[in-house]
Structure formats: structure tokens, C-alpha cells
Structure 1
């Protein structure tokens, strides 16, 4: 049975699903995919939306997500020509799950900050 026919197991170090898991759960990937869920964006728009990402890191992240079939890169023949990024069907299916994670983190932030403070006070 080939790797593509085996059941995915992200807990197995040799399973390709682990690499994909790492690709989509990286800080920049989560933010890029979530930003693209709001609609197509040009590179500069993404860079402004994902505050703090460098051009190099954004470019690398987009390349990885495109390779994984989550993002589509389209060269638009406008004047001047520009590149636009959109989610593929696979990326569109993933984005709401990432948005739910973002919502959880933002909602739980006061509790997390309180836990950090309590832990730091004990240390």
C-alpha cells in the first residue's frame, strides 16, 4: 500500500499529514489563510493585514500554502499587472476552523493573561 493510500496519522513522524499540519498551523499560515477567507488579496494587502510579517516570510508562507493546494496565485492582466491570492476550495474548507481557533484565543485571552500573571508571581 502506498503512502497516499494509507490512513493519515498526524501522530506518526513519517506520515505526510504531519508536514501539512505544520504548514497550516504555523503562525503566519493561520493568519494568511484567515485573511484570505475575507476575500482575494494582493501581496501588499496581505502584508498590511497580517501585521508584523516580513515580505520574505509572507512570500515563503504563500508558496507553501500554494504547494499544499490551499491558496491559488493568479497573475491578473490589469494595468499595471498584479498578482492576487485566493483560497482554493480546500483552503475555503480549512479557514473557518482556523477562524474558530482565533476566536477561542481572543475570547480566552483574559484568562490566559491571568494564568500567566499567577504563574509568574509564583515563580
Structure 2
């Protein structure tokens, strides 16, 4: 059961190209924004679609690979763990933001999947 503790799996579309940079200690890190959609019908029967944005971060060799392959609009699946970062904004207010630390990712190519069907 330890393998499923703090485990997050998301499938969605990238909102921008991956941002790759190096920390002051020389570690490579990549940030991506991932949009996931959910839809349901309201009481009136109308289909409502909501979009949630997720900040994802990868480190090391995985960060380098994601930096090369993750481009805006591509569909990806990521698996990782959920963490929370705490910081103080410009007004001195303490903020907490969630992020997914990516451990694995897969590029999903909708065209190839449709051709195979």
C-alpha cells in the first residue's frame, strides 16, 4: 500500500511550453501548467465543463526530457506526488500553493490514437 500513498495521476493539456531552468546548486528543474477538464449536467440538463489548472514540477534528467518534449497544447499524463509550497506575496500575505512533483510522464498523441481505432 505504500506505493499509492500521496500518489497523483493527471491527464490533461499543457497550457504553455515547459519552463526549464537551473537552480543555484546546479540542479535542473522544469515547470509546466496542466489543464484538466471535468464535465457534468446541471439540474436544467445543460452540460457544464470546468477546467482546473495544476502546477507540475520535475527535477534532474526527467526535467531535461520534459523541457524538450512538453509544448503548449500537447496532451500528457503525469504521475507524481502532491506537495505544498509556502511563500510570502508582495503584500506580506502568507500563501500556500499546491504542486505535483512529477515522477513519470507520458506524451499522448490523440491523432495516433484515433488512427489506430
Q: Same fold (TM over 0.5)?
A: no
TM-score with structure 1 setting the length: 0.31
Determine which structure has the larger strand proportion and give its number. 2
Higher RCO by CA contacts (8 Å cutoff, separation 6 or greater):
2
The structure with more radius of gyration: 1
